[in-house]
């Protein structure tokens, strides 16, 4: 009985190890072609290793004494898998969305829109997209317009009620019509935001660059429209081919730099962090106020002198950087909410050093509040229980706290 339990645990650890490797590989700044090659290798090992481990064992041995029937190298690998189950599995359970640890209580009003029903022409523009759209439960054409009342520690009272429309992960590949994201822009305009932001992954194929003007030219935001790029934007030979048309229609590129604006007589620094794929701003070295016990107070490490700091980051992995530099609000995408979510358990896949811990939602790690959107598109034309999201954020001022 004990051997069977250990065998099953090692098998689960085997898959946990491969899942952890996949998530973290896609969080690196390595070239996409390199990542894809490594991922393909690990897909093969994920599938092949379990049957090879029991290749020489009889059915009776597998059922009664599976570990005894294995060779020494397989037993050693089994120990690695058991260790992986502890190292990755326990934190994975600990950070399940249902437990809401590190989450901030943000009231949400979600409205679902079947965008296909609003369009006379099919949204699919390729055969593979048409096939994917027919898969039961696939939500690629179902837009979730999420009105979020987001409490932000340290938000000046003058900015209470500020409206920020958050787009991310458009992934213009040519498979899905631009009308889908255009509908998100229409919904944003109806809401009348003060600011509009895009947190990366705009273009996957150069032939779609012209869509940017078509879709975003009419976006309305009287206090400014800002964007950064993401890892998929590196698929374009010259990412400036993405930046230039966005700037030409009034969007401000804040990638790797800081743009100071004044809203309601309050200075806001809009900061862009595209790391590790592009640049992030360089501030003076932050000064920590570390107590002997507990967490840092972050009292003296402001990254700038503005009244409020808003960070646009493609990846939620830059949360530690945001905290080090005293960022009050960070907006991110990249993880697509996990692309699919299991009932209760939540997401498995998430291209992040944190795994699926920050796959989507609203979080608070002093002094930073972070909102991670599921984004609007993706190169993988499958979304299960994890539909595309347009985030309409109404910021609410609450007293800052140190821990």
* One-letter-per-residue 3-state SS of 307-352: CEEEEEECCHHHHHHHHHCCCCEEEECCCHHHCEEECCCEECCCCC
Cα-based angle 350, 166, 246 (whole degrees, multiple of 5): 105
How far apart (Å, rounded) are the C-alpha atoms in residues 19 and 13?
10
- How would residue 73 be classed by pLDDT, with cut points 50, 70 and 90? confident
Task: Indicate whether 177 pLDDT > 70.
Answer: yes
pLDDT of 400 reads: 56
Summarised one tens digit per residue, pLDDT across range 230-261 is 999 999 999 999 999 999 999 999 999 999 99
At residue 160, φ and ψ (nearest 5 deg) are -60, 130
Total Cβ atoms within 10 A of residue 145 = 20
pLDDT of 298 reads: 44
> Is 263 in a helix, a strand, or coil?
strand
pLDDT of 266 reads: 96
Task: Indicate whether 327 pLDDT > 80.
Answer: yes
- How would residue 72 be classed by pLDDT, with cut points 50, 70 and 90? confident
pLDDT of 301 reads: 54
Summarised one tens digit per residue, pLDDT across range 8-54 is 899 999 999 999 999 999 999 998 889 999 999 999 999 999 888 77
Please choose, from the candidates 313, 129, 154, the residue with its C-alpha nearest in 3D space to the C-alpha of residue 229: 313
Domain residue ranges in the chain: 2-94, 103-398
pLDDT of 288 reads: 43
Please choose, from the candidates 282, 284, 272, 275, the residue with its C-alpha nearest in 3D space to the C-alpha of residue 243: 272
> pTM of the entire structure?
0.91
Please choose, from the candidates 119, 216, 212, the residue with its C-alpha nearest in 3D space to the C-alpha of residue 165: 216
Give 262's DSSP letter.
Answer: E
Task: Indicate whether 184 pLDDT > 60.
Answer: yes
Alpha-carbon torsion 82, 346, 129, 219, what sign?
A: negative
Report, as an integer, the average pLDDT of 195-205.
97
Q: In what order do the strands lie in the sheet with 195-199?
A: 107-114, 142-153, 389-398, 163-167, 195-199, 225-228, 252-253
The matching CATH number, chosen from 3.60.21.10, 3.30.450.20, 3.40.50.2300, 3.30.70.3040, for 103-398 is 3.60.21.10
């Amino acid at each position: 009985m004990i051997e069977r339990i250990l065998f099953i645990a090692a098998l689960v650890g085997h898959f946990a190890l491969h899942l952890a490797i996949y998530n973290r590989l896609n969080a690196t700044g390595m070239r996409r072609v390199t990542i894809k090659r490594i991922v393909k290798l690990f897909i093969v090992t994920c599938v092949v290793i379990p049957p090879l481990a029991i290749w020489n064992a009889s059915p009776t041995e597998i059922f009664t004494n599976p570990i005894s029937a294995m060779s020494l190298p397989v037993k050693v690998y089994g120990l690695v898998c058991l260790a992986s189950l502890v190292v990755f599995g326990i934190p994975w359970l600990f950070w399940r969305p249902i437990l809401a640890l590190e989450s901030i209580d943000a009231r949400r009003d979600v409205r679902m829109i079947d965008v296909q029903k609003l369009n006379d022409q099919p949204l699919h523009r390729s055969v593979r997209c048409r096939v994917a759209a027919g898969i039961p439960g696939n939500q690629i054409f179902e837009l979730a317009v999420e009105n979020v009342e987001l409490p932000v520690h340290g938000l000046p009272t003058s900015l209470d009620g500020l409206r920020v429309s958050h787009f991310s992960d458009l992934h213009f590949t040519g498979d899905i019509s631009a009308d889908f994201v255009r509908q998100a822009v229409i919904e944003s305009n109806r809401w009348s935001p003060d600011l509009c932001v895009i947190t990366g992954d705009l273009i996957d194929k150069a032939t779609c660059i012209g869509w940017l003007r078509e879709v975003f030219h009419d976006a309305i935001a009287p206090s400014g429209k800002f964007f950064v790029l993401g890892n998929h934007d590196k698929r374009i030979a010259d990412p400036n081919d993405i930046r230039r048309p966005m700037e030409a229609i009034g969007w401000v590129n804040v990638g790797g730099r800081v743009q100071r604006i004044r809203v309601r007589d309050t200075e806001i620094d809009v900061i862009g962090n595209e790391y590790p794929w592009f640049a992030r701003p360089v501030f003076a070295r932050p000064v920590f106020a570390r107590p002997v016990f507990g967490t840092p107070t972050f009292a003296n490490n402001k990254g700038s002198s503005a009244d409020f700091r808003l960070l646009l980051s493609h990846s939620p992995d830059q949360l530690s950087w945001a905290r080090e530099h005293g960022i009050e609000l960070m907006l991110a995408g990249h993880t697509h909410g996990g692309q699919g979510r299991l009932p209760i358990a939540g997401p498995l896949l998430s291209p992040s050093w944190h795994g699926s811990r920050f796959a989507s939602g609203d979080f608070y790690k002093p002094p930073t509040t972070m909102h991670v959107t599921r984004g609007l598109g993706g190169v993988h034309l499958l979304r299960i229980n994890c539909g595309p999201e347009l985030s309409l954020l109404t910021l609410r001022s609450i007293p800052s706290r140190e821990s």
